[in-house]
A and B are shown apart, each in its own frame.
Chain A
């Protein structure tokens, strides 16, 4: 039973991180219909920014919790800035271009950013300090859950709630939803669509960066290529849930995280990713628009 809970929590932890990244994918897709292949790099850039900031701060001897918060802020700010810049440089000039052009541009951006970090920082894996303090109250349960796992779940739940509130109730959120539904119409009613798209990229990237920081601190090492597989997994989760749908992305992420955890825990750890992608293929065969996506038939 203890083993079951250990796996359950590891699945939930994974799911939370996937959700943080998948939200960015799904928001961007919802608003401009682009598979943002460079989104995984925002997660990686977030992790690296956090590493740098936390290392510098710890040399100056700041206490652990404040380092965590400052590193998280820095990661979110800079990843947001990268997201904004990438959109301006690589996607905005391609509005109205054929569908595949922005996709190729995104792949190019992804390659560029990975190699940028490789050159600017290091090609090797670097150890990442554990930024989350040990919680005393978790002592008795240390076999099934540790404090960084709990922090990941708590932070991501908080962030997701904030995001949902933002989208549901603020003016900006309404503008985002309107733009996602019909960009031309949103423009006509006076929404600054460019600004909304930029904001979407900034928010998505900041969320991914927080995910990057949390998982890096959980696992303990990072390198320039971590964004790629995480990005693909998160995108898988977003599609699984029905791309463009925010609750779908969250649901898909947890389904994916739990499936992976249980499959590796009970079947075989060699085939972790095979399980993930097989699940995706299976779900899409039976629900072609994902779990929560609406399979709106094209109007004839």
Chain B
């Protein structure tokens, strides 16, 4: 075994690391080192930054190379093993049915007890994170199940939120009336967009949905008479509970449980869908559209169903969002939101319910708890996305397969 030589950096590794360091020093030279003040015509030179970048990138490069080398070694080791053992090494049975149930119950208990142990501020953050769980699972139907790349998912979220905002503004309707209407409006807009564009190929569909999302936001921003423009709609009431008066804190906790209930229902629904006739057809559509048609499946209807259902979910979550923040304006519905929801789906592992839920919690809670390094949090967020994709391009979790044969 030449394990020793691999865990210790060789001269080649060090030379490579040095080159990387030099390259990054060159790369970041103007932008990170020089800072000009164009008004006063002064230049600040920040040479220390260059040293930092050089040192850090060289160190990271060295570490990556060593890790990669060790992994190759391990792979070689595995491939020398008889096939059966190798397979078992690759796929440890982490999540058996029983363990999964136990884990689910524990997570549930934790979530239910959360408001008892933490401040309202924390509860509020958790509510937001749970809303993204719902959004992620909703988009998962469209992207993860049916394989339709939707980059304008936030449009339906906006439709839902504005449905509630406007219905309250003009007709004084409450949350519970607005919730189903928001869902319906979302579905309606989903169909409206879906009819003309669903025959487009993947990437064309992506850019059209992106454009649609932007259109909705821009219309909300500019059509002041309809939506009150950038100033938005304020004083949207929180959800009520049979007219019982609640303090702000109570109402936030109530909303938290409401969101949990909806998230649970979403998980239940998505799980049922996956193992159903419709769900299988969606997977088939994602895998091979032509073969899917040949199986007697009406792909247009199938795509529309996925699109509308995803949009309805987004619409309902929008109502929930409007009720939570009590104030909405177009700035909450930018492309970045759609991108983040998509990141949740892909990072979670397309089609995997647990993965998507976990990714939503991680991605939403990460920036919150990175507030300590507030300035850098979005920088880190971007980097985490890239690194996660490189480490796990298929997402955190593989979707679980339903099995029918007795375990052998």
Direct A–B contact in the complex, CB atoms closer than 8 angstroms: yes
Identify which of A13-21, A50-58, A133-141, A154-162 touches chain B.
A50-58
Is B378 interfacial (CB-CB < 8 Å)? yes
- B27-78 interface (Cβ within 8 A of A): 27-28, 30-32, 34-36, 38-39, 41, 43, 49
Q: A78-B30, A85-B23, A235-B207 are in contact. Are A271 and B379 (CB under 8 A)?
A: no
Closest chain A residue to B202 by CB distance?
Answer: A99
A119 B214 Cβ-Cβ under 8 A: no
A235 to B210, CA, bound (A): 11
A104 B389 Cβ-Cβ under 8 A: yes
A49 to B214, CA, bound (A): 29
A109 to B376, CA, bound (A): 14
| A300 CB contacts on chain B under 8 angstroms | 290
Is A82 interfacial (CB-CB < 8 Å)? yes
Is A180 interfacial (CB-CB < 8 Å)? no
Q: Is the interface of A mostly helix, strand, loop or mixed?
A: helix
Closest Cβ of chain A to B310, distance in Å, is: 16
B31 A108 Cβ-Cβ under 8 A: no
- B334-391 interface (Cβ within 8 A of A): 335, 339, 342-343, 346-347, 350, 375-376, 378-379, 381-386, 389-390
- A165-216 interface (Cβ within 8 A of B): none
B389 A105 Cβ-Cβ under 8 A: yes
Is B203 interfacial (CB-CB < 8 Å)? yes
B210 A51 Cβ-Cβ under 8 A: no
Is B283 interfacial (CB-CB < 8 Å)? no
- A264-297 interface (Cβ within 8 A of B): 270-271, 273-274, 276-278, 280-281, 284-285, 288-290
Among B49, B197, B350, which residue has its beta carbon within 8 angstroms of that of A100?
B350
Closest chain B residue to A81 by CB distance?
Answer: B27
A53 B197 Cβ-Cβ under 8 A: no
A37 to B207, CA, bound (A): 11
Closest chain B residue to A93 by CB distance?
Answer: B390
- A64-105 interface (Cβ within 8 A of B): 74, 78, 81-82, 85, 89-90, 93-94, 97-105
A98 to B147, CA, bound (A): 12
Closest Cβ of chain B to A86, distance in Å, is: 9
Q: A101-B346, A274-B219 are in contact. Are A243 and B203 (CB under 8 A)?
A: yes
Is A59 interfacial (CB-CB < 8 Å)? yes
B386 A109 Cβ-Cβ under 8 A: yes
Among A55, A104, A277, which residue has its beta carbon within 8 angstroms of that of B215?
A277
A284 to B390, CA, bound (A): 33
Closest chain B residue to A60 by CB distance?
Answer: B43
Is B26 interfacial (CB-CB < 8 Å)? yes
A116 to B350, CA, bound (A): 29
A119 B31 Cβ-Cβ under 8 A: no
Task: How many A-B residue pairs have C-beta atoms within 8 angstroms? Tell me.
Answer: 180
Q: A109-B382, A111-B385 are in contact. Are A284 and B208 (CB under 8 A)?
A: yes
Among B36, B347, B384, B390, which residue has its beta carbon within 8 angstroms of that of A94?
B390
Closest Cβ of chain A to B225, distance in Å, is: 12
A300 to B39, CA, bound (A): 63
A280 to B209, CA, bound (A): 11
| A45 CB contacts on chain B under 8 angstroms | 31
| B339 CB contacts on chain A under 8 angstroms | 37, 107
Q: A101-B394, A108-B384, A108-B386 are in contact. Are A49 and B378 (CB under 8 A)?
A: no
Among A104, A228, A288, which residue has its beta carbon within 8 angstroms of that of B199?
A288
A51 to B37, CA, bound (A): 10
B39 A119 Cβ-Cβ under 8 A: no
Is A23 interfacial (CB-CB < 8 Å)? no
A129 to B38, CA, bound (A): 8
| B378 CB contacts on chain A under 8 angstroms | 111, 114-115
A212 to B211, CA, bound (A): 22
B31 A49 Cβ-Cβ under 8 A: yes
Closest Cβ of chain B to A286, distance in Å, is: 10
B149 A100 Cβ-Cβ under 8 A: yes
> How many residues of A are counted as interface, with CB atoms below 8 angstroms from the partner's CB atoms?
73
| A4 CB contacts on chain B under 8 angstroms | none
Q: Mark A202-238, 1 if CB is under 8 A from B, else 0.
A: 0000000000000000000000000010001001100
Q: Mark A241-269, 1 if CB is under 8 A from B, else 0.
A: 00100000000000000000000000000
Is B243 interfacial (CB-CB < 8 Å)? no
Closest Cβ of chain B to A260, distance in Å, is: 13
A278 B215 Cβ-Cβ under 8 A: yes
Closest chain B residue to A109 by CB distance?
Answer: B386
Is A32 interfacial (CB-CB < 8 Å)? no
A55 B389 Cβ-Cβ under 8 A: no
Is B206 interfacial (CB-CB < 8 Å)? yes
| A271 CB contacts on chain B under 8 angstroms | 218-219, 222
Closest Cβ of chain A to B206, distance in Å, is: 7
Q: Nearest 10 pairs between A and B by C-beta?
A: A108-B385, A112-B382, A111-B382, A277-B211, A97-B393, A55-B36, A101-B393, A115-B379, A270-B222, A108-B386
- Chain A residues in contact with chain B, CB under 8 A? 29, 33, 35, 37, 45, 48-49, 51-53, 55-56, 58-59, 74, 78, 81-82, 85, 89-90, 93-94, 97-105, 107-117, 119-122, 126-129, 228, 232, 235-236, 239, 243, 270-271, 273-274, 276-278, 280-281, 284-285, 288-290, 298, 300
Q: List 24 A-B contacts (CB under 8 A).
A: A49-B30, A49-B31, A51-B36, A53-B30, A55-B38, A56-B34, A56-B36, A74-B30, A90-B390, A100-B143, A103-B346, A105-B390, A108-B381, A111-B379, A112-B379, A114-B382, A243-B203, A277-B214, A280-B207, A281-B212, A281-B215, A284-B200, A285-B197, A288-B199
Extra contacts besides A52-B30, A120-B28, A298-B290 (11): CB < 8 Å: A98-B393, A99-B202, A100-B342, A104-B389, A112-B379, A115-B382, A228-B335, A232-B210, A274-B222, A288-B201, A288-B204
